[in-house]
Structure 1
Amino acid sequence: MIGAGMGAMAAAARLAVAGHRVAVYERTETYGGAVRRFERDGFAFDTGPGMLTLPAVYRDLFVKTGKEPLESVVDLVQVDPSSRHVFADGTEVSLPNASRAGVVAALDEALGEGAGARWGDFLVRAREAWDRTRRPLLEEPLWPNWSVLAQREPYPSVPHKKFLRTRRARTLSEIGAWELRDPRLLSLLEGYALAYGLDPGSAPASAAILPYMEHAFGTWYVRGGMRELARAVHERCVKRKVEFHFGAEVTGVLEKDGRASGLELADGTLVEADTVVGGGPWRLRGLLPGRELYGTEDVPPYAENLRLGRVVVCLALRGARQQDAAHRTVVHGTDPEGELCDFAHGEVPSPEPTVWIDRPDDPALRPDADHESVVLTATVASQGSFDWTAPGAADAFADRMVTAAERALPHLRERILWREVRTPLHTERETGAEGGAVPPPSLAGGSSMLHPSNTTALPGLFTVGGWSHPGGGLAHAGMSGALVAGLVVEGPEFRGSQ
C-alpha cells in the first residue's frame, strides 16, 4: 500500500481483518496524511481538519475491525453550537448542532423573520439531493455509467423567472441568490463550499448536501485534537498486524503478466505484492510512465495543482479562553469569489478573506489555563495558481487573516505570543498533493465534480483517498477505504456497504 493517509489506513485495517498481509510504505515519517498536528512550547494545533461530520463512518470502521466502539478509543464530543457566524455587515448568529428547528429559530432572530424559514426550506431540498446521491457517491463503487450522475442534477431547485425565462439554479451561488434571497444567507451557504475547497460560483447545486450533512449528522470533535483520530486508526492497523514502513518513498509500481505485482522504492528495493493500493490517481501515473490507468470512458484524474488549497495560521495566545467562546467561528469575507479570482491571476486579494477560527476548549492543546491555542484557516489558490514562495506572500496573507479574525475576536493581535504560518507548500510536503491542493468531495450534477474510480485499467491496482472516489474529507476518506477493501476482497461484483 502506498501512503499512510486516513483512507489508506482504513483500507489496510479492513484488509488485514479479511486475512490479507498488508504492508504500508509512507514517504514521510508519520501517518495521517493531512490530519497533522503542530506543537511548540506546550501549544498544539490541528493543521488539517478541525472537526468531523458523519462519525458513523469511523464507528463502522472500528466495529468491523475490532468489535469495539469508536468512543472506546477516542473521546468524541458533539460541538454546540456547531458554529458562530460573523457576516460582512456585522450581523452575528450561532447555529445549534444537529437541530433544524434550532437553526431556523436562530436565523429568524438574528437575520429577521422569514430568514430561518427560507434556510429550513433549503435544507429540505438539500435532503432530497442527499437521499438521491448518498449511496452512489459515498457508499458504492463508482458506477460504470457514471455519466448519469453528471447529467442529472439531484438538487430540486426552485424555478426562477428572469427576463421572461424560467431557470433553475445550477450552482451553489445561484441557489443562494435565487432561493435564499439574503446576502447573509448567501454567505452562509457559500462558506460551506469554501470550507471544502470549492469555489461557490462554480460548485454544482448538489453541493447543497454539504450544509445538510452538518445539520443532519452534527459536527464532532476529538478531545486532544483531531490528530487523535489518526492515532487511533493507526493503532488499530498495528493491532491487526499491518506493517508500516516510514521514510520509504515509492518510485514505481511493478507490473507482471498484465497486472500490478509490487513496488519499487527509492533505495532500489523491490517489494512483491498480489495487490497494490495507491493514493492520488494523478500521481500514480508517474509511477507507471507510459501506462494509461484510465480509459476515455472513465472519469479523468484532476490536475491537482489547479485545485484550491489552504493557509493555516497557528496562534499561541496569552490570556485564558472565554468560557462561552464558540469552538468554531466563521468570519465571512466581503467577496469570496472575487478573492479566489484574484488568486487565480497571481494577486493577493485586497478584501478580508473568509476565515475559520477554531478555538477548542481542550486543555491538551495549551500549556496552562492562562493561554489559548487558536487556528485560523482560509481557502486559497494552490501553488499551481499563486506563488506562495514569493518573499512576504505568506506573512502578508496571514496578516489579512488575523485582521479578519479580529472582527470576531477583538484585540486578537495584542494577545499573540507567536504564530506559525502554513501554506499549500506544507500540504504538498505532507500529503504529496501537487501544488498543495485539497481534494473536494465527489458531487453530482451538470457541473459535476466526480473523482476517478477506485479501480484502474491495470488489474490489481487500486486507488484510495481524497483524489479518488468518493473524494475528499475525513468521512469520504474513511469510505474510500471501505470501498477499496470491498473491491479487493469481493472483486468487481462488490456493490458497497449494506
Structure 2
Amino acid sequence: MARIAMIGAGMGAMAAAARLAVAGHRVAVFERGATYGGAVQRFARDGFAFDTGPGLLHLPAVYRDLFLKTGREPLEQCVELSQVAPASRHLFADGTAVSLPNASRAGVVEALDGALGAGSGERWSALINRARDAWDATRRPLLEEPLRPDWQVLGRDPYPAVRRRGLFGRGKGPTTATLAEVAHRELADPRLIALLESHAPAYGFDPRSAPASAAVLPYMEQTFGSWYARGGMRALAEALYERCLARKVEFGFGAEVTGIVEKDGRAAGVELADGRVSDAEFVVAGIAPARLASILPGGLPWGADDVRPSARPEEAPGRLTVALALRGARPGDTAHRTVVHTTDRAAELAAVFGTGAVPRTICASPTVTVLRPDDPASRPDDDHEAVTLSAPVAPGALPGGAALEAAADRLTEIAEAAVPGLRERVLWREVLPPKEGELVPGPALAGQGGRFLLPANHTRIPGLYAVGGWSHPGGGPAHAGMSGAIVAGLIVNGDDWRGST
C-alpha cells in the first residue's frame, strides 16, 4: 500500500483517488478551496439552483465504468441520469429553428431536412460519417490511453480528406484543413456551418484554427447522447465525492499545497501553507500548469521534447454565466438546451479569440446557450423556473461593474428569442463572470502538428503525475474522468502501462 498525495479535488483528481483507493492505496486529497468538483459547481439562492460549470454530460460510460469498478452501487443508483429530449434546439440568425433529437442519426437527418431544406440532413450526415472515422482512429490514443511517447504521430489530422471539386480542383488531390474551412467546403448552408462551428467555442476552440478533427465533438454528442443529472451536474460531483469517502479517501479543504517535496530524484510528498509536510510515494497534481510550476523546484515537469502547456495555439475563452430566477411555470414542451446563434459569426470569433492586431473584447451579439432543465431540484416550486444563460467571452474582457451588467443585459435580450417574455418574468438574476485562472482547455484533438494535445499524465519526475483538464486527455467531465483512470492505471501498473485492452 502506497501513500498518495493528491493536489486538488477536481473531477479528474477524485476519479483517480477513488480508483487508487480501491487498489489498496492510501490517498489524501489537499484542496486549497472550500469544496470539491473543480469547475463542476452549483449556485443556489432562494430555492433556485443553477449549474455554473458544465450543464450536460456526454460519454456517461466513463462514469459508469468508474462507479462499477469502485463500489457495489452503479452510477444510476447514485445519480439519476436522463437523456434530454430534444438534445438541442437551434435558433439561427435568419429566424430558422430546428430541434435535434437525442442520439438519433436518422432523426437528425429528418429534422435538418424538414427545417433547412431537402439535402441538408445528408450533407450533415456525410460530415458526421467522416467525423466518425476520425473518432475511430483517435479514440484510444486520445481518450483511453496514456499519451504515447511518439506523440508526434498524432500531429496528423485523422479527419478524412475530401477531394476538391470542380475544374480547378482536379489533380490537386485530397486536402484537410481547419474546422471552419471544412464547414464551408462541405456544408455550404450558413445555418449548417453555424451548427458545426458553434461546437468549437463551446469546448474552448476557435473554429478558424482548430483542426478538422474537431468534428468529433458534434459526433460525440450526437452518437452518445446528451445526459442531465437530476440536481444538476453538481450531483455527479457529489456522488463521486461520496464514493471517495466510502473508499476511505481523506480530504483536506483549505489546505493549500505550496511545494512538492523531492527526495533522491523523485516526488516524495507535499508541503502545505501551514508548514506541514505530508510524505508520499506518489504525488498527483490536478492543478493548472502555472500553479504546478510555482510549487515545483525547476518549474514545469515536462521536457523540451514533450507536449508542453505552451503548445496550445490560443488561450481558452471563459464563459459568462447569467442565472435567472423566473416567476411562472416552465412550459411542458420546453427544450432543455437552446442555442441562439449569433447574427455576426465573424465578429463573435474576432471578439472572443482575436483577429490579427484586433484586441479580444466583448461581442455585441454572442451565441447564447439557454438551459431550462425540467428539474424540481432547480426551483422552489412548479410556479417558478430556473434558467441559465451562457456565452463565450475573451479572458479579461469583463472587468466588472457596468460593463459586466451590460453584457448580462445583452445575453438576456438575446435569450428572449428562446424564452418569450423573459425579461418580464425575471425575479432576480446573478451574473457570474469567468474566474481568473480557472479557464480549462478543451479535450485533446489530433492534427495541426500536435498543437491541440495536452501534457502527458506522467512527468519527467518519477512519482509525479498530472491529472484533470490541464493534462491528457483534456477538459470536460468525461475527459477528466478518463484522465483519472489513466493516472490510476499508470500508478498501479507502472509507467509502461499502455491502457486497458
Tell me the TM-score normalised to structure 1 length: 0.95
- Structure 1 segment 314-333 matched on structure 2, within 5 A: 314-333=323-342
Q: Which residue of 2 aligns with 1:445?
A: 447
> 1:126 deviation in Å?
0.6
Alignment partner of 1:312 is 2:314: no
Query: Partners in 2 of 1:163 and 1:197 — Cα distance?
Result: 37
| Aligned mate of 2:393, from 377, 380, 386 | 380
Query: Partners in 1 of 2:147 and 2:311 — Cα distance?
Result: 20
Alignment partner of 1:462 is 2:469: no
- Structure 1 segment 38-437 matched on structure 2, within 5 A: 38-150=43-155, 152-161=156-165, 164-165=168-169, 166=172, 168-279=175-286, 280-302=288-310, 306-343=315-352, 344=354, 345-346=358-359, 348-383=361-396, 386=397, 388-425=398-435, 428=436, 434=437, 436-437=438-439
Query: Partners in 2 of 1:287 and 1:160 — Cα distance?
Result: 51
| Range with bigger deviation, 292-301 or 57-66 | 292-301
Query: Partners in 1 of 2:487 and 2:360 — Cα distance?
Result: 40
Query: Partners in 2 of 1:244 and 1:137 — Cα distance?
Result: 30
- Structure 1 segment 3-22 matched on structure 2, within 5 A: 3-22=8-27
Q: Which residue of 1 aligns with 2:3?
A: none
2:347–2:363 contact (8 Å) kept in structure 1: no
Distance 1:366 1:219, change over 3 A: same
| Aligned mate of 2:484, from 458, 469, 481 | 481
> 1:346 deviation in Å?
4.6
CA displacement 1:257-293 (0-9 Å, x = unmatched): 1011111111111111110000233321111143441
2:327–2:385 contact (8 Å) kept in structure 1: yes
SS in 1 for 2:198: helix
SS in 2 for 1:231: helix
Q: Which residue identity is paired with 1:439? A: P
Q: Which residue identity is paired with 1:105? A: E
Query: Partners in 1 of 2:222 and 2:423 — Cα distance?
Result: 32
1:170–1:447 contact (8 Å) kept in structure 2: no
CA displacement 1:146-167 (0-9 Å, x = unmatched): 01001x1100132235893546
Identity of aligned residues (%): 63
Structure 1 residue runs without a partner (length 5+): 429-433
SS in 1 for 2:235: helix
| Range with bigger deviation, 363-372 or 399-408 | 399-408
Query: Partners in 2 of 1:84 and 1:149 — Cα distance?
Result: 34
SS in 2 for 1:22: strand
Alignment partner of 1:37 is 2:79: no
| Range with bigger deviation, 64-73 or 455-464 | 64-73
| Range with bigger deviation, 331-340 or 314-323 | 331-340
Query: Partners in 2 of 1:291 and 1:98 — Cα distance?
Result: 44
Structure 2 residue runs without a partner (length 5+): 1-5
> 1:447 deviation in Å?
5.6
1:340–1:381 contact (8 Å) kept in structure 2: no
Distance 1:184 1:8, change over 3 A: same
> 1:322 deviation in Å?
0.5
Query: Partners in 2 of 1:217 and 1:32 — Cα distance?
Result: 23
Query: Partners in 2 of 1:350 and 1:489 — Cα distance?
Result: 47
> 1:403 deviation in Å?
1.5
> 1:29 deviation in Å?
0.6
> 1:79 deviation in Å?
0.9
| Range with bigger deviation, 166-175 or 367-376 | 166-175
Q: Which residue of 2 aligns with 1:431?
A: none
Distance 1:293 1:411, change over 3 A: same
SS in 1 for 2:162: coil
Query: Partners in 2 of 1:230 and 1:452 — Cα distance?
Result: 24
Query: Partners in 1 of 2:166 and 2:272 — Cα distance?
Result: 59
Query: Partners in 2 of 1:302 and 1:84 — Cα distance?
Result: 36
> 1:336 deviation in Å?
3.4
Distance 1:44 1:222, change over 3 A: same
CA displacement 1:92-119 (0-9 Å, x = unmatched): 0000000000000000000000000000
Query: Partners in 1 of 2:320 and 2:132 — Cα distance?
Result: 31
Query: Partners in 1 of 2:85 and 2:300 — Cα distance?
Result: 48
SS in 2 for 1:262: strand
Query: Partners in 1 of 2:132 and 2:57 — Cα distance?
Result: 19
Query: Partners in 2 of 1:137 and 1:417 — Cα distance?
Result: 45
Distance 1:406 1:485, change over 3 A: same
| Aligned mate of 1:495, from 478, 485, 498 | 498
1:199–1:337 contact (8 Å) kept in structure 2: no
Query: Partners in 2 of 1:338 and 1:251 — Cα distance?
Result: 42
Tell me the TM-score normalised to structure 2 length: 0.94
1:29–1:246 contact (8 Å) kept in structure 2: yes
Distance 1:197 1:292, change over 3 A: closer
Distance 1:290 1:337, change over 3 A: farther
CA displacement 1:395-446 (0-9 Å, x = unmatched): 1211111121112222211111111111122xx4xxxxx2x31311000012
Query: Partners in 2 of 1:421 and 1:230 — Cα distance?
Result: 23
Q: Which residue identity is paired with 2:26? A: R
Query: Partners in 2 of 1:441 and 1:248 — Cα distance?
Result: 28
Distance 1:214 1:366, change over 3 A: same
2:292–2:300 contact (8 Å) kept in structure 1: no
1:302–1:451 contact (8 Å) kept in structure 2: no
Query: Partners in 2 of 1:490 and 1:408 — Cα distance?
Result: 50
CA displacement 1:280-334 (0-9 Å, x = unmatched): 3332111114344111110011489932111111010111100000000011112
